Amino acid sequence: MKNDLLLKAARGENINRYPVWLMRQAGRILPEYRAVRNSLDGFKSLVKNPDLCCEVTIQPVDILDVDAAIIFSDILVVPEAMGLNYEMIEKKGPWFEKTIRSEFDFKKLDSNIDINDRLGYVFEAIKKTKKELNQRVPLIGFAGAPWTIFCYMVDGQGSKTFSESRKLLYQNPILAHDLLNEITNTTIQYLKGQIHNGVDIVQIFDSWAGILPKNQYEEFSMPYLEKICNAINEVPKTIFCKGAFSSIKNICLLNCETVGLDWTMNIPVVRTIVGEKKTLQGNLDPCLLYASSKNIEKETQKLLDSLSSKRHILNLGHGVYPDTNPENVKTFIKTIKNYEIN
Ligand code: CP3
């Protein structure tokens, strides 16, 4: 591979500069993405079109000069594969017609699904993208964490509180575990399919980690993350648990190479916990990219100067916000690429 810095950093190998990519780099900010997106009748038509997924996956590599591509898809393809169809409503986000609130709902989910049959369109996009990338940079595969997918399957849409999901943990913990187990098994098959078709590294997004108290996070999310980590040994794994700083010590014990940090988390504190055993990823505030280019450079430089280990992958602390100016993203990336370690 021509540029394998991301994989080297993930494995803890020697690097002379830090690799950089952005969560949600494909899709949210580039006018070139909008053009492709507007040529179709909706988000799902794009997700199910391997040629166009390949095109928008590579756009940030060409335009922003990031050190990795992340396959254009969505975490919600997994509940759909399990039998819960979703719609992506313009300016509102995901919406599920059916939700899982009872054993009766749970029993109606499709069991023993054939992952190639249900999610073959993602695998096709991965195969095309790998070919098209021609070994320029690694391709990142991903899935939602079981807890985060559970939130969408139970609440049925985005929410500030996900109180239907949180209610279920108190009212029917057995059903909650049954559903989390099903999601976990599908996710493992899905990630193995992505790896089989060419992704070089995988990331698990636990976007709603931060809404649970520590004890519930450790009962309803972490055991399933652990199961996924232990099942996937073919490529390096990154676990990103947004907002779960109270469980960070235990997250750092998971069988993964990289731990993703959001912008509220303290890198030196986590470095003290993990020593040289893990790579850390993150964690500039996505809102920094609304600042002047001088301040973006200054704050990025400050983060780079503060790093005490080479086991680091530069990123934001969450996905890049949709109204971010791509020029500001370029400033962020250039600052990192010009920074020599030592
Ligand atoms: O990183 C990338 O750019 C790759 C593609 C990717 C998308 N979604 C495409 C997308 C990835 C990695 C995701 C992950 C995802 N999806 C997460 C976890 C990461 C996070 O941000 O916390 C979550 C929670 C979702 C669920 C989801 N998908 C929501 C809530 C929404 C609507 C609001 C939003 O984020 O834009 C989506 C839609 C979505 N997924 C879009 C894209 C490019 C926008 C759709 C459009 O073009 O209209």
Q: Which domains does the chain have, with CATH numbers?
A: 5-337 (3.20.20.210)
Q: Does the active-site annotation cover 136?
A: no
- Whether the CB of 40 sits within 6 Å of ligand 1: no
Query: Cα 264 to the chain's mean position, in Å?
Result: 17
**pLDDT beneath 70, residues of the chain:** none
Q: List the structure tokens of 32.
A: 């070139």
Atom of ligand 1 nearest to the CA of 34: 47
pLDDT digits (tens, 9 = 90+) for 294-319: 999 999 999 999 999 999 999 999 99
Query: Residue 64: CB partners within 8 Å, gap ≥ 6?
Result: 22, 25, 30, 326, 329, 330, 333
Spatial contact of 195 and 235, defined as CB atoms under 8 Å apart: yes
Ligand 1 atom with the shortest distance to the CA of 92: 32
74 belongs to the catalytic site: yes
pLDDT of residue 342: 79
Tokens coding 234: 């073919």
For residue 94 and ligand 1, the question of a CB distance below 6 A is answered with yes
Question: What is the spatial distance between Cα 161 and Cα 145, in angstroms, rounded to a whole number?
Answer: 17
DSSP string computed for 185-236: HHHHHHHHHHHHTT-SEEEEEETTGGGS-HHHHHHHTHHHHHHHHHH--SS-
Compute the distance from residue 342 Cα to the ligand 1 centre, in Å: 36
- Is the C-beta atom of 44 inside 6 A of ligand 1? no
Measured in whole angstroms, the distance separating CA 126 from the mean position of its chain's CA atoms is: 16
**Which sign, positive or negative, has the C-alpha torsion 37, 84, 72, 204?**
positive
Is 11 among the catalytic positions? Answer: no
Kindly give the number of the ligand 1 atom that is closest to the alpha carbon of 28.
Answer: 43
CA of 180 to the centre of ligand 1 (A): 21
Catalytic-residue membership of 271: no
Q: What is the pLDDT of residue 286?
A: 98
* Terminal Cα distance for the chain, rounded: 25
Using DSSP bridges, classify how beta strands 237-241 and 258-260 pair: parallel, antiparallel or unpaired. parallel
Measured in angstroms, how far is the CA atom of residue 24 from the centroid of ligand 1?
7
Residue 194's DSSP bridge partners are none
**Whether residue 17 lies in the annotated active site:** no
Q: Enter the pTM of the model.
A: 0.97
Looking at residue 316, what is its pLDDT? 98
- Give me ligand 1 centre to Cα 93, in Å: 9
CA 135 to chain CA mean position, Å: 21
Model confidence pLDDT, tens digit, residues 234-278: 999 999 999 999 999 999 999 999 999 999 999 999 999 999 999
- Whether 74 lines ligand 1, by a CB cut-off of 6 Å, is yes
Catalytic residue among 37, 121, 285, 290: 37
* Distance from the alpha carbon of residue 339 to the mean position of ligand 1, in angstroms: 30
Provide the token pair at 171: 């009212």
How far is residue 174 from each of residues 107, 180, 202, measured CA to CA in Å?
14, 10, 29
Of the candidates 18, 33, 86, 152, the residue annotated as catalytic is: 152
Atom number, ligand 1, closest to the C-alpha of residue 60:
3
